Structure 1
Amino acid sequence: MSANPNETLDELSGSVASVRDQAAPVLDRVTAQAQALAKRSAQAVRETSQQLRDNAARVSDNTVGYIKDEPIKSILIAAAAGAVLMALVTLLARSRGRD
């Protein structure tokens, strides 16, 4: 390096410019890869959301069909499920009351 401060600053400025020029393509490539990843991720989320909506609609349709085909059985299943839930709620309420 030179002893002259102006020459030293010019050399440093040139070095910084050189590093910036070398880093720019790498940064551009990394940015492009990050954008592509974000785009693929967003598409995957959209596809998964659509699949979940389709599955929920199918399950709903199957449930309605079952209720239409087996109304008595459906009522008994619903009553049994309600009884089990009430028993669980009662047990939880009693156990919390003891604590």
Structure 2
Amino acid sequence: MFNNKSTDIATALVDQATHAADQVARTSQQLAHGAIDGVRETSHQLRVKAEHASDNTVRYIQHEPVKAMLIAAATGAALMALISLISHSRSHH
């Protein structure tokens, strides 16, 4: 039913489609690896920053314990006031 020319064209089209699919797969894999590497690097940077902030906080508390307690108390009071406002506004609606 098909002649050699039709078969050759079909084979060429299949080869092109296979090559395009392979390229898409390789590109997708490269993008996925790049995204994973980016997430790893960002995670590492955040961990380092958190450790640095924790160290700074400990040093501040050691050197300024009274100020640290006053800051903690003020922060707690502010959070309680905020929670109270939110719960109060929800109970009226």
TM-score of the alignment, normalized to the shorter chain, above 0.5: yes
Give 1:85 deviation, angstroms.
1.1
Unaligned runs of 5+ in 2: none
Distance 1:29 1:97, change over 3 A: closer
Q: Does 1:23 align with 2:22?
A: no
For the residues of structure 2 that align with 1:95 and 1:28, how far apart are their CA atoms? 58
Aligned counterpart, 1:60: 54
User: What TM-score results when the alignment is normalised by the length of structure 2?
Assistant: 0.84
For 1:96, the aligned partner's letter is R
For the residues of structure 1 that align with 2:91 and 2:15, how far apart are their CA atoms? 71
For the residues of structure 2 that align with 1:91 and 1:30, how far apart are their CA atoms? 54
For the residues of structure 2 that align with 1:65 and 1:10, how far apart are their CA atoms? 82
Give 1:11 deviation, angstroms.
6.3
Distance 1:24 1:81, change over 3 A: same
Which aligned pairs between 1:1-99 and structure 2 lie closer than 5 A? 7-8=1-2, 13-99=7-93
User: What TM-score results when the alignment is normalised by the length of structure 1?
Assistant: 0.80
When the two structures are aligned, how many residues end up with a matched partner? 93
Aligned counterpart, 1:3: none
Give 1:87 deviation, angstroms.
1.2
Q: Which moved more, 1:45-54 or 1:88-97?
A: 88-97
Unaligned runs of 5+ in 1: 1-6
For 2:42, the aligned partner's letter is T
Question: What is the aligned-residue RMSD (CA, Å)?
Answer: 1.9
Larger Rg: 1
